Chains A and B, each alone.
Chain A
Amino acid sequence: MLKTKFEIEHLNLHYGSFHALKNISMKIPANEITAFIGPSGCGKSTFLKTLNRMNDLEENVTIDGTVRMDEKDIYSEMDAITLRHDVGMVFQQPNPFPKSVYDNVAYGPRIFGIRKKSQLDEIVERSLRQAAIWNELKDRLKKSALGLSGGQQQRLCIARTLAIQPKVILMDEPTSALDPISTSKIEDLAMELKKDYTIIIVTHNMQQAARISDKTAFFLLGEAIEYGKTEDIFARPQDKRTENYITGRFG
């Protein structure tokens, strides 16, 4: 039996008076890839952001219900800063800092207080290797990260997240801005990383979910309609709405 990483119970989220997430309960296992799918505006990204409290940064958001990570309530027993050290995030648009490749990866360790050059060098190399981009970038560590291609930028952002040694990596449509070749590199990377990390990925690309994820949750209008093993969701959906979506009848 796999260990449970996140346990979500009766989670509701409102933007002002808009009910964006409706009574969501699910258990997300550790060391697997879990995919959230659904049409745009269904709440999948919003739900992802509740897992590292990025919603705290927005105004007019109210949340009730519980989200527990490793049996600790992340809203009442942890603070957002500590939580985000454990739950890293990769965004839809690659968003490297306007700094060098090196400084991008070293940012996280530095704010932890790691100052020693040799230690930082080691972390930077290890993270870039883990993100399978060391060979491409090792000669341009001092160059600005903004000069990289989109796919390289996104893998750099993953390396930047790995450098803080999180337990969980949230990916919010990480390949939607990338070409097919970069996309497949990121997918391979995700498969590789699940040995050591719990990965939760939001995608509107159903093939992607089918290719890489172990579990899949289908969202519609703020509800988690169906959640289970990926092959079950795609081969034998229980809910009519899930079936309609994955067979392409709407979305």
Chain B
Amino acid sequence: MNTTTQKGMFGKEYAWRGIAVLCGLFVIALTLVIGAFLIYKGSDTFLKFGHTLWEFLGSAKWHPVDSAEGGGAAGALIFITGSLVTCGLALLIATPFALGSAIFMTEISARFGEKFYRPVVEIFAGIPSVVYGWVGLTVLVPFIRNVFDRQVGHSILAAGIVLAVMIFPTITSVSADAILAVPDACRKAAYGLGSTRWQTIRHIVIPAAAPGIISGIILGLARAFGEALAVSMVIGQTTALPKSIFSTTKTLTTEIASQMGNAMEGGELKSALWSMALLLFLVSLLFITLIHYFTNKGKAKAEGGKA
């Protein structure tokens, strides 16, 4: 082979490899830049406007001033509580159904499950959140108002139900994968000892799949925690701590979505909103860490060495 074409060949090799490496670097840079911007913008509340972390996390006084002078109150407890309560409610509603569905499509009716049920669940997963929100607003909210005889149907309950339907597919399909990964030999051993199917599922399959199921639940929780618009549509948007599941309140995401557009650049309100975005970012990092922890635990369980 003559040397110039060879040189061209290797030159191209290096060029393409360089592009691939650059794209990898870009992804890293992008993530770091996002993190850096959030820290940069979100720290103003504490550094520039002098609020304490304790005030931000623990106080329900929310009167940030929409100007660069500051001096207002920036307690985000209402929104933190709102987020926690709606997500907790959503998990409470979605988890039993999702687990039941996952068991149905793997253990009870595997053929029907793989052919029809899983695609149906995946379709659920693809429905845009604004559509969920809109249906929640036009169907669920009036329903709650009439059935429970409230003045308004907007409520934590409505938000919890909308979120539950949204995260149901996530929990279902991750749990189903975890259950499918349980070796068949375990089921056979259980049946061989005279277990019924339910005993096998309850005492063998679910404990063995538990780390994967928990990862699925955390993934669902992460999705619920970050959802903004669907929740905004049905939660009623009042700045007050909730008293019951029929209360209207706000969450971190709904407050960001509704205030960010009105707030002045560089003002105290905007900084406080950025701090809330930073909090969302940190919480999603926490979720990732938890998922890693449970995945590793699952691996250790399957290998048996350390467990």
A interface residues with partner B (beta carbon < 8 Å): 52, 54, 57, 81-85, 88-89, 91, 93, 95-99, 107-108, 110-111, 143-148, 157, 160-161, 164
Known: A84-B191, A111-B195, A146-B301. 9 other contacts (CB 8 A): A84-B192, A95-B183, A96-B189, A98-B301, A107-B190, A110-B203, A111-B194, A143-B307, A164-B193
How distant is the Cα of A187 from the Cα of B7 in the complex, in angstroms?
A: 68
Contact partners of B302 in chain A: CB under 8 A: 98, 146
- A98, B304: Cβ atoms closer than 8 Å: yes
- B304, A93: Cβ atoms closer than 8 Å: no
Q: A97-B204, A147-B305 are in contact. Are A107 and B193 (CB under 8 A)?
A: yes
Least CB distance, B109 to chain A, in whole angstroms: 12
- B185, A144: Cβ atoms closer than 8 Å: no
Q: Which 10 A-B pairs have the closest CB atoms?
A: A146-B304, A95-B185, A84-B194, A89-B192, A85-B194, A144-B304, A144-B307, A147-B304, A95-B189, A108-B193
Q: Encode contact with A along B172-187: 1 for CB under 8 Å, 0 otherwise.
A: 0000000000010110
Size category of the binding interface on chain B? 20 to 34
- B303, A146: Cβ atoms closer than 8 Å: yes
- A160, B304: Cβ atoms closer than 8 Å: no
- List 10 interface pairs A-B (beta carbons < 8 Å), by A numbering: A81-B195, A84-B193, A88-B193, A107-B190, A108-B193, A146-B303, A146-B304, A146-B307, A147-B305, A164-B194
- A97, B303: Cβ atoms closer than 8 Å: no
A-B contact count (CB 8 A): 79
How distant is the Cα of A81 from the Cα of B199 in the complex, in angstroms?
A: 11
How distant is the Cα of A82 from the Cα of B185 in the complex, in angstroms?
A: 21
Contact partners of A143 in chain B: CB under 8 A: 307
Least CB distance, A147 to chain B, in whole angstroms: 4
- B303, A95: Cβ atoms closer than 8 Å: no
Contact partners of B190 in chain A: CB under 8 A: 97, 107
Least CB distance, B200 to chain A, in whole angstroms: 9
How distant is the Cα of A192 from the Cα of B298 in the complex, in angstroms?
A: 38
Least CB distance, B194 to chain A, in whole angstroms: 4
Contact partners of A147 in chain B: CB under 8 A: 304-305, 307
- B305, A97: Cβ atoms closer than 8 Å: no
Contact partners of A91 in chain B: CB under 8 A: 185, 188-189, 192
How distant is the Cα of A95 from the Cα of B304 in the complex, in angstroms?
A: 13
Contact partners of B191 in chain A: CB under 8 A: 54, 57, 84
Q: Is B289 an interface residue (CB 8 A)?
A: no
Contact partners of B193 in chain A: CB under 8 A: 84-85, 88, 107-108, 111, 160-161, 164
Closest chain A residue to B301, Cβ basis: A98
- B194, A144: Cβ atoms closer than 8 Å: no
Least CB distance, B189 to chain A, in whole angstroms: 5
Contact partners of A82 in chain B: CB under 8 A: 194
Least CB distance, B108 to chain A, in whole angstroms: 13
How distant is the Cα of A112 from the Cα of B185 in the complex, in angstroms?
A: 21
Closest chain A residue to B209, Cβ basis: A98
- B196, A81: Cβ atoms closer than 8 Å: yes
Contact partners of B230 in chain A: CB under 8 A: none
How distant is the Cα of A15 from the Cα of B303 in the complex, in angstroms?
A: 35
How distant is the Cα of A82 from the Cα of B195 in the complex, in angstroms?
A: 9
Q: A54-B188, A81-B196, A161-B193 are in contact. Are A111 and B304 (CB under 8 A)?
A: no
Contact partners of A98 in chain B: CB under 8 A: 186, 207-208, 301-302, 304, 307
Contact partners of A108 in chain B: CB under 8 A: 193-194
Contact partners of A164 in chain B: CB under 8 A: 193-194
How distant is the Cα of A95 from the Cα of B190 in the complex, in angstroms?
A: 10
How distant is the Cα of A104 from the Cα of B204 in the complex, in angstroms?
A: 10
How distant is the Cα of A126 from the Cα of B95 in the complex, in angstroms?
A: 41
Q: A91-B185, A97-B204 are in contact. Are A144 and B192 (CB under 8 A)?
A: no
Closest chain B residue to A96, Cβ basis: B189
Contact partners of A107 in chain B: CB under 8 A: 190, 193, 203-204
State which residues 121-156 of B face A: CB under 8 Å.
none
How distant is the Cα of A111 from the Cα of B194 in the complex, in angstroms?
A: 9
How distant is the Cα of A9 from the Cα of B207 in the complex, in angstroms?
A: 41
Contact partners of B192 in chain A: CB under 8 A: 52, 54, 84, 88-89, 91, 161
Closest chain B residue to A53, Cβ basis: B191
Closest chain A residue to B187, Cβ basis: A57
Contact partners of A89 in chain B: CB under 8 A: 192
How distant is the Cα of A82 from the Cα of B192 in the complex, in angstroms?
A: 11
